[in-house]
Structure 1
């Protein structure tokens, strides 16, 4: 959903308790609503005006303004404008004459609420009038004032108004608090037009805004025009690049302007430091002695410009307030503040290298910047925090004022640091740039190129370009056999549609042969892990023993990082092979391998494998939501490989559940990104599109889709990856009368996978054999395939094999098997398949029985009506819809009519598309 669909008025979040309490207050009463700027005091007033219990009241609303010379009693006069209470005085306000007349006029109105907003800015006459009014508060009047406690003048504390009330009147005070993390997420979702945002997004947005609703709204409205689901999962790539909203900068500038220069100094120092610090350190950076700093800090706290985030630690109100203050500082002020921060922090033990790197960079201390950045990044890499290392190093590598020797050294560190993280875009750009330098020293060139190649292959979705970089790196790493071995091991992994089984195995062997030339435990583990991976992908029976041996090698943190990647590859391979239980065990193993945060690249990557496992296992409840969540994450963190994988899962699910148009769109889109896909994915896309064509009796189209994929597998040599495509190709050839061609393809496939440890390929060989075998034998072959899929735990694949068996029996007059298949697809939620099988039964004079009666949907669209409405909205004709969903044209017409009525629209184009 695009965020342009969000409401104009922000949803009210987290204020139910305040509204309930305030709406229940009876007259006469004084209601005090306190809270910092932007916290939502005025919104509460607006909601109260619409509350059912207060609709019969006169609402008189005035606003105090921050004017140097305010008009006496101006807010009260504004509130009474249009009412025949009294004529505004001319010139000086005569309190003795005016105050009683106004109170009498208010008393005559009956039930009324006098609202004075922002009372901290009130003029003296207005405040005096409120004191007078409270002493004799009319019995049907409620006075509601809003104010900022941090801006109240000492001589007018606001709460003292309660002391003037008679004993029969009630005083109620409510302080409006900042929103909690979950409430910030709920507000953001409403503003973006989403049902929800991720917990990560909500947490980061809360850190940026401090939970102040006004700031949350400003941030959401300032987000770039990108699809909302992507924005909702992009705490770094989107939120961290935002500038402070102009309204927030204005609010802070207004408060600073009214305070002494020393307050500006401590607030500027706090913003420059950008992290909680103690009072003494803050005073030193501000350049103030202790007494002066203490007084300035107290003033800043009182006016909401600083906060005490922990005992003894001070910081700005929130992250965006920090950015706002920085924006308000003049360049020379900011430069001096960073120099002061660098000087003060240099004495801290342990040395905060990351913070010092930032301050030295902005202070222009280049040599110190590089030194601290390298030290901080080295520690981050040791802790597995590659993203922080990339943040620290990418700017150094790209720095125009830094000598090439230094940049080359830092680029080599960057190339290592970026590999386990998610900030590959910045790293790739910096590494590519430094490799173009003519005076780049030869020694680090190969290491830098190796790191670039690894990033391009594994994260950037540019496997072809990455593999080329790795090939060149092998030739440049003559004096680094450890990195050369890693490059060879990476080239052994079949990460693209290029290469052959022979080539990949040759690279693995070359890498293994290099191990005797160096002694690096982690690199040895990496090479053995990749050797296991390539064997597993090819269904070699030796793959699992090699993997177990590699797993036993991981005795160091760096080696276990390689095992983490290996477990991801092994889980992917296991699922392709048909070892679904092993795949789940490997996914469960991953969190135990290393203690890393959930942002690690590999943890993002295996999310696609989990979705594929759920699809295969029939765990479809909530699967569309999980797919959408992972897809948003892939887009937000720019992981094109994961994006393509998840889109394919979504397309296959949409196909099974009846959203045929969505499935075709996504399958075509994934297929057009061939440069991102592995051979197994190319075959999977072709097989899914061929199923659609075969269901519509378009065998020639199906074969045209499948032939390039089969040829690609044949050239590569790993026939196990054609498990989805070969049965479909055999079925298409038989339908076209080319049984001999189908038999030849089946034999080629079966011979190639017979000695492979690949249950999925074995089941596919049985299916393909069923399509080319005589009818009597086909039943047994399809039954055997069904048994294989059942053993794997794949109910959908089992039902598809059962459907092929039932089709043979149906032609022989046995209808019961197809009836059971319809029931099985229906129970699983595979509506498209159930409809296809039901149509086959109807052609043989059988109407499938409904199980458990028909569900009533009332004014909501039924699943079938929703599917028809979606295709109609996209422009499909009734006949096209009927053919796709295996129903009659008359039924389509009925469903379209029902959908138009239920949705309250007149034309097909206005029907919902999803």
Structure 2
């Protein structure tokens, strides 16, 4: 194929480059910039190298989509044809120049005529060729000179030659000639795969550009996980692609864009798969058939290999993991003398690759699958048998591999033995995810005997509740409950673990509690397990069951803990008991923490110690013991990591995010919380709390749509299935979001719903966020008596509790009531108590919000003092990242006739964005209109318009659409 194009002016030649499914170029910004800079600097030579499918042609396509005027683009491809086609790509590129030559009739020397016989399409525009010399070398040199002169006569030219690795030697020599002494108006871009070039030199000999020529070599590497994720999102038009899916896709495709695209094309319902967790992503991608183009390419490579090299490649495909040459030889049944030569052929043929030092495998999983699929059933079974024999001699035993080979070889008993041993080993080292996957696979086999089903099912439940993969194990346990192979004695235990998993899933709280209650009834002979179930039912923060009903279970848990002699069970019960009591404000818990064990004897006990610390940290965060929460989180996360307790670690990491929100540690918190949300999307207790953090942060920035989107995922609208304190806090944040938009009716609806949840549960310890939001909403609606009644209930409800966060919130609520009644002295006194309470925790954002109310009360009586306070608060809110709150204080200051004093004098920002312009840019990039920005920043639309114009000018863009939100996070 060939093409001659002067972008924006004229085209000639063959069809356009093949389209790719991605509408945007991913991961090649630096290379594209270098290409765009080098090509217009004539003469120029750009060499683009990279393996098959890595995106060389796409990069060229992006270049050609640029306005390259006045360059004429000539394009040709080298072809993998059997017969040599001397100078083929360059001749193909020039065939489309007849119209240009007809118009301009350039003056050419007689030597230019020698290409007439090679290019009959343009021969009429060329001089009569000189007489042949009879010397092949001289004739070839004439052709090179003629083509160089012709290219120089066409004006500014970009010559693109693709797939140079397929070029004949004559074409390589011609390009070497042109690159060594190009016409002053010529730029050359070539693409090639170095691994497919004999000797590894694309031009046949070493090339060093002469002085005066712009020369660039661009090496394209596979995409990393983030880039694979971006490419997937672009191809499928998805806003969010899970890290787990992108990681597995990158692993399976080696990050080669073409293979990524083909894999997505072969995947059923790819748009639905991209939100999958790691286990689901692996299952979905492992079932993708090898794309036809990739399968054919691998078949061609195999066909070119000697038989021994093919057998070695097939052995590598069966092994499925990189392996040393000796092991490959044993599995392939090759003699020691033949392995080296076979491996050399397989490497040179680009079938196998040295993955790391001395270990050989495939470039990516799909290549391995393509070779595996070439084997017949009997051949596969035979090679798997040899793999088992060879791997039995490896130390330590590769249990997972032995299990897989036994399964594929049809050795069910061996598969069961190795698989269970591998699961036990994974559990022992804390890899709950691997253990869960292994046990699920074994339990899916109908031929597993009943006695083994009991044992494996119980193990699955035990392991799954330690990990973060919840959905798939729950499904397996559900299926086992109706499996006739499962004995009555094991059924209660399976039911218990299924209930524990359900409670962690969205919409599973009520069913999970019901399942656990039924399990307890079936566990009369297992009081230890019944006690575990009881302690879960004693946790008051799930669903809408009133606190009074939890008390029975909580008292029973205390009795079970005191009665057991098992230290691990005692710690397990203590984790749920102490966390539950502290959550409801029990004042006896914090003093009792001094008696907690500092060290334990077993790994299981350490896991329970991790649970105790992380559960208590969560309760401390909810109640207001922030410094204690921080200490407990550090120790809890350390114990979880050392003992292999990923679920416990997940709860600790989420509590850390909530604690950082409350204590004002907001730097990087949005990105961290989003990553955690993607990782724990199937764990509703985690995802709902992260949604609360993200929604609250968005609210502080005035990003109402984003705030509401997150806050609706807190369980605020489905409290019967929610984590109650999170749902109540979600209602509070929704009310404040509505109030900030002057939607008093909606604010009251959200606040009333939160109050209803709180009264139904009877746990006033969970009122610190809701209290101020409800009172503000009710007062804005003129419902002063309702606000007063709520404050009285809150005061009565927390009177004897250890809840410092609620105490500070109650003082704020009382201040609000006094301010609404016009008693400003009393209001300021309450506000001062609230500020002191918040600062002692510390909760700087909440303290600043109350200080703002105090400053407002001061403005009328002491304008200077009020203005000074507001000015200081602007700095506080700006430092935190509370854009909306800082803007509101500026607005109050302007309204009061003041302006924020500068400590260093007004600075000039030049071409840099000022802080205000940065905020405007962020909101513009988020798609906000001038009016919406004005509302968030308390500015006039005219002022926003002026800021927006300066933002576009300083950033060198012509429209808002060119702004990217990531640049202003």
Residue of structure 1 equivalent to 2:813: 768
CA-atom RMSD in angstroms: 4.9
Of stretches 513-522 and 296-305 in structure 1, the one that deviates more from structure 2 is 513-522
Q: Tell me whether 1:746 sits opposite 2:746 in the alignment.
A: no
Matched, 1:241 2:290: no
TM-score when normalising by structure 1: 0.83
Q: 1:665–1:175: structure 2 CA closer, same or farther, 3 Å change rule?
A: closer
CA deviation digits over 1:830-860, x for unaligned, max 9?
A: 34334445555666x5344464659869797
From 116, 121, 130, the equivalent of 1:86 is: 116
- Is 1:106 paired with 2:147? yes
What's the offset of the Cα at 1:791? 1.0
Please state how far the C-alpha of 1:241 moved relative to its aligned partner. Answer: 3.4
Deviation at 1:527, TM superposition (A): 0.9
More displaced 10-residue stretch of structure 1: 601-610 or 859-868: 859-868
Alpha-carbon deviations, 1:132-158, whole Å to 9, x = none?
9979998447998766565456xx886
Distance 1:810 1:34 in 2: 69
Other-structure match for 1:568: 614
Alpha carbons 1:656, 1:833 under 8 Å: kept: yes
CA distance in 2, matches of 1:808, 1:372: 73
What's the CA shift for 1:789? 0.7
Report the Cα distance in structure 2 between the residues aligned to 1:449 and 1:195, rounded to whole angstroms. 38
- Structure 1 residue 562: deviation in Å? 1.9
Q: 1:781 aligns with which of 830, 844, 853?
A: 830
- TM-superposed deviation, 1:415: 0.8
8 Å CA contact retained: 2:848, 2:877: no
Q: Greater CA deviation, 475-484 or 340-349?
A: 340-349
Deviations 1:221-242 (A, max 9, x none): 77887789x9599665436633
Q: Report deviation, 1:786.
A: 1.0
- Cα deviation for residue 50 of structure 1 reads 11
Name the SS of the counterpart of 2:401 in structure 1: helix
Following superposition, the deviation at residue 100 of structure 1 comes to 4.7
Taking the TM superposition and a 5 Å limit, the aligned residue runs for 1:668-817 are 668-670=712-714, 671-694=716-739, 701-733=746-778, 739=784, 741-773=786-818, 774-810=823-859, 816-817=865-866
Q: Establish whether residue 833 from structure 1 lines up as the match of residue 875 from structure 2.
A: no
Matched residues in 2 for 1:166 and 1:424: separation? Answer: 59
1:521, 1:400 → 2: CA distance? 38
Q: Distance in 1 between matches of 2:306 and 2:248?
A: 33
Q: 1:478 to 1:72 in 2, by over 3 A?
A: same
Match of 1:373 in 2: 419
Q: 1:577, CA displacement in angstroms?
A: 1.1
Q: How does 1:140-219 map to 2 (within 5 A)?
A: 140=182, 148=193, 151=196, 161-162=204-205, 179=221, 185-186=226-227, 189=230, 192=233, 207-210=251-254, 212=256, 214-215=258-259
Q: Which residue of 2 aligns with 1:846?
A: 897
Q: 1:9 to 1:723 in 2, by over 3 A?
A: closer
Specify the alignment match of 1:642 in structure 2: 686
What is the CA distance between 1:537 and its match in structure 2? 0.9
Is residue 99–residue 132 contact of structure 1 (8 Å, CA) maintained in 2? no
Find the aligned partners of 1:121 and 1:872 in 2 and give their Cα distance: 48
User: Measured at CA, do residues 224 and 632 of structure 1 come closer, stay the same or move farther in structure 2, by a change above 3 Å?
Assistant: farther
Shift in Å, 1:784: 0.7
Q: Distance in 2 between matches of 1:373 and 1:73?
A: 59
Runs of 5+ consecutive residues of structure 1 not aligned to the other structure: none
Cα 1:157–1:532 change in 2 (3 A) is closer
* Cα displacement (A) at 1:441: 0.7
**Structure 2 vs 1, CA of residues 733 and 271 (structure 1 numbering), >3 Å: closer, same or farther?**
same
Select between 354-363 and 372-381 the one with higher mean Cα deviation.
354-363
Q: Is the 8 A contact 2:877 2:886 kept in 1?
A: no
CA distance in 1: counterparts of 2:490 and 2:241, whole angstroms: 43
Measure, in 2, the Cα distance between the counterparts of 1:573 and 1:330: 59
Q: Confirm or deny: 8 A CA contact 1:767 1:781 kept in the other structure.
A: yes
Matching residue of 2:530: 484
Number of the residue aligned with 1:821:
870
Q: Which residue of 2 aligns with 1:862?
A: 917
> Is the Cα contact below 8 Å between 2:312 and 2:343 reproduced in 1?
yes
- 1:37-78: CA deviations, max 9, x gaps? 3355667877999999x9999876544433345656644643
1:161–1:703 distance in 2 versus 1, CA, 3 Å: closer
2:651 pairs with 1:605: yes
Q: Is 2:80 the partner of 1:66?
A: yes
- Cα distance, 1:445 vs. partner? 0.9
Aligned to 1:630: 676
Structure 2: runs of 5+ lacking an equivalent: 1-19, 98-112, 121-131
Q: Distance in 2 between matches of 1:804 and 1:513?
A: 48
Aligned residues of 2:544 and 2:760 also touching (Cα < 8 A): no
Matching residue of 1:414: 460
Aligned to 1:38: 53
Count residues with an aligned counterpart. 890
Distance 2:958 2:172 in 1: 57
Tell me, yes or no, if the aligned pair for 2:50 and 2:193 is still in contact at 8 Å.
Answer: yes
SS at match of 2:355: strand
Does residue 1:655 correspond to 2:699, yes or no? yes
Alpha-carbon contact 2:243-2:679 (below 8 Å) kept: no
Q: Alignment partner of 2:455: what SS? A: helix
Q: Residue 205 of structure 2 aligns to a residue in which SS?
A: helix
Contact 1:578 1:760 in 2 (8 A): yes
Is the counterpart of residue 350 in structure 1 residue 396 in structure 2? yes
Shift of 1:596: 5.0
Q: Deviations over 1:732-764 (max 9, x none)?
A: 555666655544433332233222221111112
1:528-561 deviations in whole A, cap 9, x for unaligned? 1222111221222222344443443633211211
